[in-house]
Amino acid sequence: MNGTIASSSSLRAAFSHCVQQVRSYDYHHYLCLLELPPSMRKAAFALRAFNVETSRAMDVATDPRIGLMRLVWWQEAIDKIYASKKIEHPIAQALSSVISENKISKLWLKRSVEARINDARREDTEIPETIDELEKYAEDTASTLLYMTLQSGGIRSTAADHAASHIGKAGGLLLLLKSLPYHATRNRHCFYIPVKVAEEHGLLAKQGGRFEIRLDSRERLCDAVFDMASVANAHLRKARDLAGTVPKEALPVLLQAVPAQVLLDSLRKVEFDVFDPRLQRGVLGVPPLWFQLKLKWSSLRGKY
């Protein structure tokens, strides 16, 4: 009996840790998850906390090798979780509980962490060739979370999955754009601007037989960001075109289109200048209360 109580207490602490991690490091999605039905929140917060953990692994590590080791640890942890092996980590414990109660695809979890690992193994001078590569990365790391959240709610809908794919790609691309200044200071992965986009806007230079992205022209950079943001905008439109075929129970999950639209609108206001400090203010460049009201209004209307 005492063991059961201790186990229950430990699990509550694990889920509480997940919620706190999402609130601290992914606030706009934290607000989105609060709009989910209570029955779906545990799984959603566990999955989102897993994403927080893997997305920050390289950033919080003092040595890139340590960050990569952390990602590989998570890759192995997924196998252990599905083999019903106990892992002493709060997020892993929460995931294990969620997976035991819901039919969540191991494939999506593996794809998510493997995309992070492949990204971490890139050389700093290894620039993505086309925006298609970044769309694939966005789907593997962002859309997969939506797929799994739908699964956790027992929602089986091809239309919902297609909408989730587009929303994940849009949100993933836009967050990569927002993070360009941060990655510029760390000189990691050439700022996630594809070779073809950089070349088209005169941002590509060859140094010592290798290509690199030049940031000496803010105007040309803004043009490149505009092109990439336009791809994200097209994904949001495609997702909304599917709204009439998406089951009602999937709509709260797809509310994550709202932060993507807010960030896109914020980029427009600063004329796609990702170095404009206004983008870092509030929630995705807007006052927190305004963001919450927009999210709540979309939720009440059943829109995304």
Q: Is the pLDDT of residue 1 over 50?
A: no
In the block, tokens 């709540």 appear at 296
Closest CA to 160 of 174, 173, 148: 148
Q: Per-residue pLDDT tens for 204-255?
A: 887 777 778 888 889 999 999 999 999 999 999 999 999 999 999 999 999 9
Q: Please count the residues of the chain.
A: 304
Same domain, 254 and 215: yes
Six token digits for residue 82? 């599905």
191 and 263 inside one domain: yes
Same-domain check for residues 140 and 266: yes
Strand partners, 283: 286
Q: Is pLDDT of 112 > 90? A: yes
The verdict on 230 and 281 lying in the same domain is: yes
pLDDT at position 54? 97
Give yes or no: residues 116 and 153 share one domain. no
Name the residue type at position 120.
A
Average pLDDT of the segment spanning 98-106:
93
Confidence bin at 187 (pLDDT 50/70/90): low
> What Cα–Cα distance (Å) separates residue 91 from each residue in 24, 36, 81, 144, 239?
15, 20, 11, 17, 30
| Domain total in the chain | 2
Q: Which of 95, 121, 147 is the last residue of a domain?
A: 121
Q: Within the chain, where are the H helices?
A: 2-25, 27-33, 38-60, 64-82, 90-101, 106-120, 131-138, 144-152, 158-178, 180-186, 195-200, 218-241, 251-254, 257-269, 288-301
* Nearest CA among 258, 263, 254 for reference residue 284: 263
Structural domain boundaries, residue 149: 123-303
Tell me if residue 213 falls in helix, strand or coil.
strand
Closest by Cα among 84, 75, 135, 156 to 109:
75
pTM beyond 0.75: yes
Give me the CATH number covering residue 299: 1.10.600.10
pLDDT at residue 189 greater than cutoff 60: no
